[in-house]
Amino acid sequence: MNNEDILTVLKSLSNETRLNILCWLREPEQMNEKLPTVIKEEFPGGVCVGSIQEKSGLAQSVISSYLSSMQKAGLLESRRYGQWTYYRRNEEAIAAFLEDFAAGLQAKKK
C-alpha cells in the first residue's frame, strides 16, 4: 500500500460516523438484522444499508455516500441482492492497511 492509498483510508476514517460504521460491522450480528438465507450463505457478515442507516440516525443518502467512500478506500465490500445492498468489512484490506501504516510510522532499526 503506497502513501496515497494510506491517505485515502485515513481520510475515509476521519469522520466519526464512518469510523463507527467500521466498528459496527466488526460484529454484524449485533445489528439485529434478519438476513435472507442467500445473504447468510453467499455474503456472510453482510449488513443492509437500511440497518446501518437506522443505527446511525442519518439520512440514507448520507450513509450511502459514506459507504461508497469507504468501499472506494478498500475498507468495505458490497453485494446487491434484489433492491437491497449489503456491506461488510474487507478484513484483508484492513489488515494490510494497519500493517503498512504501522510500518511506515516506525523508526528504522539500526
To the nearest 10°, the Cα dihedral for 101, 17, 27, 91? -30
For 82-92, how does the pLDDT look when each residue is reduced to its tens digit (9 = 90+)? 899 999 999 99
Q: The cell 458490497 sits on which residue?
A: 78
Region for residue 32 given its phi and psi (left: phi exceeds 0; alpha: psi -120 to 50; beta: otherwise): left
For 11-30, how does the pLDDT look when each residue is reduced to its tens digit (9 = 90+)? 999 999 999 999 999 999 88
pTM of the model: 0.88
- Chain centroid to Cα 6, Å, comes to 15
C-alpha 43/C-alpha 101 separation (Å) is 28
